[in-house]
Structure 1
Amino acid sequence: MISIIKNTPLQKGLVLAVMAFTLQSCFVAKEYARPEITETENLYRTDNLPSDSISMADVSWKTLFTDTYLQQYIDEGLQNNMDIRIAIQQIVAAEAYAKQGKAGYLPSVNIGANVTHQELSKNSQFGAFLTNTSTDQFDVTANLSWEADIWGKIRSNKRATQAAFLQSVAGHQAVKTQLISSIAATYYSILALDAQLEVTKKSIETRKTGVETIKALKDAGLTNQVAVDQNIAQYNNAKSLEVDLEVALFKAENTLSILLGKTPQQMKRSSLDTQTINSDMKLGVSSQLLRNRPDVMAAEYGLISAFELTNVAKSNLYPSFKLTASGGLQSLELDQLFNANSLFANIVGGLTQPLFNQRKLKTQKEVAIAQQEQALLRFKKTLLVAGNEVSNALYAYSSENRKFQFLKNEVEALRKAAENSEELLKNGYATYLDLLTARQSALSVEIKVIGSKLQQLQSVVNLYEALGGGLK
């Protein structure tokens, strides 16, 4: 015998809820899987590919940079730099959205107290039969609204906000890596300017002595006024170069101060000759850029967020199951408001299928798909740029090492030429032009030697940044 159960509104609501949970097995939302990226192959344009997975990026910046002043400045910059502090606030904002995304499964609940005063027209349908057309009503009402995640929309939105949060974290790490690189490069530039200024000052002293010597030779009748004028011009050329270097040094110190988040000031430092890099130029395998480069990681998190938002846009085209309820206390008399007879409640559950919405939902889906494709292309481009930066930095380091030795040999030869020319001039076996040319060439190449040393250091810094170093 089959018993007939009365279908109450509560039972109907429960049936709809069961249907909603049953339909959750029919997810429209897909799971993210990293796309196959052929761009990771042969990212580095170099023959010196490593045979293991060790990367220079795994070395802590405290180990890579041994100069104590530089270590102090990097640590100070990481604490006080304005870009770092801005990035941290971006993380805070993204974290708030991530928390909101996690709360998507929870119902919305609000409560309020109301007083309603109503005056009926005495000529209205009800007012004509009532002696008192004025009524007051008091109520305390709580409202609840909850949506079942049938198609994975809420889940996808949650994952999108989490990916956006992780993207902001990776963005902060990218700023950190760039800051370490900028501080190191600026510090090395200051040391190079110090060295160039020192060489220039020595050259000024030498040329000052040379002017006095050439004047004495003129008085002895061994040369003419043209030689004196040329030596004076060369002396002033060196003094002009000294001024240019002092200006560049002043600006470089101000740049370093800004990177450290403080007002421009003179910076303490060591010397260029004491700088050493205690790390092998190990690249690791190119696929490691996916986990070491913060900008590459940020680009992938952007792709994940776009992927999940596409899921959300697709889910919006399907029916949604919503459950709404309200209840509380309601009374015409304030002193009876908290009486048991004042209790009321209602619950509504139903499926809503969007049919015509001025094409908004379909447009949202098409835009989301296009934005997902854009995010994928940005991800691939970021990876290609990363490989290019690694290749350039490694080649620059290798080239500067070879160039540095040639320049050292050249400057040694020119120094000897200048010494010999001066001695021959004193004895009347050479012209003042030979001496001037040798001196000018020697100073120029000495400046280049220092510049080459600077480029070696900066190419190491660039390679470290390109590989994604600085996160430890």
Structure 2
Amino acid sequence: MKTPLPTPKPLCRAVALAFAGLLLAGCAIGPDYKRPEHVLPAQFKHAEGWKLATPADLEHRGRWWELYGDTTLSDLQQRLGASNQTLAQSVAQYRQAQALARGARASFFPSVSANVGKTRSGQGGGSSTVRLADGSTVTSSGSSGVSKSYDANLGVNWELDLWGKLRRQLESDTASMQASAADLAAARLSLQSELAQNYLQLRVLDAQRRLLDATVAAYQRSLTLTENQYKAGIVTKADVAQATTQLKGTQAQAIDLKYQRAQLENAIAVLVGVPPAEFSLTEVDSVPGLPQVPALLPSQLLERRPDVAAAERDVMAANAQIGVAKSAYFPSLSLTAAGGYRGDSLSDWISTPNRFWSIGPEFAITLFDGGLIRSQVAQTEASYDQTVAFYRQTVLDSFREVEDYMVQLDVLEEESGVQQEALDAAREALRLTTNQYKAGTVDFNSVVTTQTTALSNERSVLTLLGSRLTTSVQLVAALGGGWEQAQLEKADSDAEELP
């Protein structure tokens, strides 16, 4: 009857339980994380005319592009999330960070390994000759042979986290994973913003194309009228040439818009992961309207910007690495156990005489390293200071971006009002001049001048509309788009659920 392997004595079990208690109750080496301090303004400088966000304002913030009320834009945003390859790279990076955090959690548990093997070994034989004092020689021969060994064993190793090294490493990896989740959100928001800007600019170009087509039709009628008057001897040939020049120049402007539109359409195709040759957007008769974008308190901005959250999580990870580095000053304790069978013959390999086992703790501490640990601690502290400075700069940049886009929208709105007044005046001047020309009281040059002025003002109004739409998208992105910091907690829980 085979006897079982000996079990550890009660004293060993008591030691193991004591160390387990230290694992659970011990304090981690290194500083606990605290958010770096920074000065927050009471309000945005250019917030006049803006209202604070309310729950109703943020009800659909996850799909912020719906503020523009364009179904085609919404469809394109969905395609971007599913097929954009730049976004796919960021998703893969986030998955790597998740796997790293999962690996850090695994270090809290014992590692178990099993080994089964066969070994053949041999020792070479031969002869040797020794000459004696009387001149005679003696020859001796050695034995040689090949031996076999069979081995099967099971080993367990467990590093106890007495000083919190593993806990700090898990804290660092978890923070890095959350930073990666925020980086992914920032990359997604940037691509969504780029797509929205390209799409809105394309729709403004469509509006300009419609304007130029209508203008070309009007200039064609003007040219026909001038040619009839020339035939009747009322105007000179120069008036016909001037009308022709104006018509062809406007047609050239319309043709130039085709190239600009194609560029935007191709850019949108790449963003949604489609070859440009297989993608097209049908022209529509309207331009999306400007949305009412609610402003936030400066403190809320820190909860809404994924790049700010990523920078803060990098600070958290760097802070935990200080504890990991400092834990090298203290001894490490590992519990190891092994057992199995080892024999020379396969027939009686698994038998009591061939049984072996071992168990015991192992302490390890660095007695002298020439200042290596101290330098590593200094490196982590410097890295922490660097991430703090970057975090504070990111916060400052976020405030600047919001202020810039707020004042830009205010200025563009004021400029658009004045430009609209200029357009109204130009249209009235064109109407009066055209009537005077038909009555023969002014020459054709006056008509051309007023027509050119009116067209220029029409295009300026559309250009300002495009600028306001683009700036509104940039402001939404600067305010964090549809992102919120609570998503990091979800990212953390998702990582824990991964197999």
Q: Fold-level match, TM-score > 0.5?
A: yes
Residue 121 (structure 2) aligns with: 118
User: Does the 8 Å contact 2:28/2:167 carry over to 1?
Assistant: no
Go from structure 1 to structure 2 and tell me whether the alpha carbon gap of 1:50 and 1:357 turns closer, same or farther (over 3 Å shift).
farther
Q: Residues 422-441 of structure 1 correspond to what in structure 2 (within 5 A)?
A: 422-441=434-453
Q: Are residues 1:395 and 2:407 paired?
A: yes
Relative to structure 1, the CA distance from residue 52 to residue 471 in structure 2 (aligned partners, 3 Å threshold; closer, same or farther) is closer
Structure 1 residues 178, 47: CA separation in 2 closer, same or farther (over 3 Å shift)? closer
Partner residue in 2 for 1:276: 289
- Is residue 74 of structure 1 aligned with residue 69 of structure 2? no
1:93 aligns with 2:93: no
Query: Aligned pair in 2 of structure 1 residues 50, 345: CA closer, same or farther (>3 Å)?
Result: farther
**Equivalent of 2:185 in 153, 173, 178:** 173
1:468 to partner: Cα distance: 0.8
One-letter amino acid of the structure 2 residue matched with residue 341 of structure 1: P
Deviation at 1:318, TM superposition (A): 2.2
Amino acid at match of 2:218: T
- What amino acid maps onto 1:194 in structure 2? D
- Paired with 2:205 and 2:51, the residues of 1 have a C-alpha distance of 39
1:257-268 correspondence runs (5 A): 257-264=269-276, 265-268=279-282
Alignment of 1:23-102 (within 5 A): 25=26, 27-38=28-39, 40-42=40-42, 44-48=44-48, 54=54, 59-60=60-61, 61=63, 63-102=66-105
Q: Is 1:104 aligned to 2:117, yes or no?
A: no
In the alignment, structure 1 segments of 5+ residues that lack a partner are 1-7
- Change in Cα spacing, 1:43 to 1:165, as seen in structure 2 (3 Å) is farther
> Residues 304-453 of structure 1: matches in 2 within 5 Å?
304-357=316-369, 359-453=371-465
1:294 paired residue among 298, 303, 306: 306
> Match for residue 4 of structure 1?
none
* 1:154 matched residue in structure 2: 166
Instruction: Supply the distance in 1 between the matched residues of 2:290 and 2:60 (Cα, whole angstroms).
Output: 12
Query: After alignment, is 452-461 or 297-306 more displaced?
Result: 452-461
In structure 1, distance between residues paired with 2:206 and 2:53: 39
1:5 corresponds to which residue?
none
CA distance in 2, matches of 1:57, 1:82: 29
- Displacement after TM superposition at 1:106 (Å): 1.3
Residue number among 203, 226, 244 corresponding to 1:232 in the alignment = 244
TM-score of the two chains, using structure 2 as the length reference: 0.84
Q: CA deviation at 1:52?
A: 5.3
TM-score, normalised via structure 1 length: 0.88
8 Å CA contact retained: 1:69, 1:269: no
CA distance in 1, matches of 2:49, 2:441: 56
Distance 1:78 1:296 in 2: 22
Deviation at 1:350, TM superposition (A): 2.9
For residue 457 of structure 1, report the CA deviation from its aligned partner: 2.1
Aligned-pair identity in percent equals 24
Instruction: Say which is worse superposed, 372-381 or 133-142, in terms of deviation.
Output: 133-142
1:190-205 alignment to 2 at 5 Å? 190-205=202-217
- Report the Cα distance in structure 2 between the residues aligned to 1:138 and 1:129, rounded to whole angstroms: 30
Tell me which amino acid in the other structure corresponds to 1:94: A
Cα drift, residue 358 of structure 1? 5.7
Greater Cα offset, 215-224 or 293-302: 215-224
Shift in Å, 1:436: 1.5
Specify the code of the residue in structure 1 equivalent to 2:32.
E
Distance apart, 1:366 and its partner CA:
2.1
- Structure 1 residues 298 and 107, CA gap change in structure 2 (3 angstroms): same
- The one-letter amino acid of 2:408's match is A
- The alpha-carbon deviation at position 281 of structure 1 amounts to 3.2
**Offset of 1:449 from its aligned partner?**
0.8
Note the alpha carbon deviations across 1:125-159, whole angstroms, 9 max, x for none. xxx99977543211112233221112211001111
> For the residues of structure 2 that align with 1:464 and 1:445, how far apart are their CA atoms?
29
Q: Which has the higher mean CA deviation after the structures are superposed, 443-452 or 65-74?
A: 65-74
How far apart in 1 are the matches of 2:306 and 2:269? 25
Deviation at 1:47, TM superposition (A): 4.3
Instruction: Kindly provide the amino acid, as one letter, of the partner of residue 183 in structure 1.
Output: L
Gap runs ≥5 in structure 2: 1-7, 128-139, 485-499
Shift of 1:167: 1.4
Q: Measure the CA separation in 2 of the matches of 1:247 and 1:53.
A: 40
Q: Moved runs in structure 1, 4+ residues, more than 4 A?
A: 8-17, 19-24, 49-53, 55-58, 121-124, 128-133
Query: How many Å apart are 1:50 and its aligned residue?
Result: 6.9
Measured in 1, the distance between the counterparts of 2:49 and 2:226 equals 58
Deviation at 1:187, TM superposition (A): 1.6
Query: 2:3 aligns to what?
Result: none
Instruction: Identify if the C-alpha distance between structure 1 residues 365 and 269 changes in structure 2 by more than 3 Å, giving closer, same or farther.
Output: farther
Q: Does the aligned pair in 2 maintain the 1:69–1:270 contact within 8 Å?
A: no
For residues 310 and 130 of structure 1, the distance between their equivalents in structure 2, rounded to whole angstroms, comes to 61
Q: Partner letter of residue 36 of structure 1? A: E
- Structure 1 51/256 Cα, relative in aligned 2: closer, same or farther at 3 Å? closer
Q: Could you say if the C-alpha distance between residues 306 and 271 of structure 1 is closer, same or farther in structure 2, counting changes exceeding 3 Å?
A: farther
1:21–1:150 Cα contact (<8 Å) kept: no
Contact 1:57–1:464 at 8 Å: present in 2 too?
no
SS at match of 2:329: coil
Q: Secondary structure at the match of 1:335?
A: coil
Shift in Å at residue 192 of structure 1? 0.4
SS at match of 1:316: helix
Shift of 1:20: 8.2
1:179 CA drift (Å): 2.6
**How has the CA–CA distance of structure 1 residues 204 and 148 changed in structure 2, closer, same or farther, with 3 Å as cutoff?**
same
- 1:142 is matched with 154
**Secondary structure at 2:113's aligned position in 1?**
strand
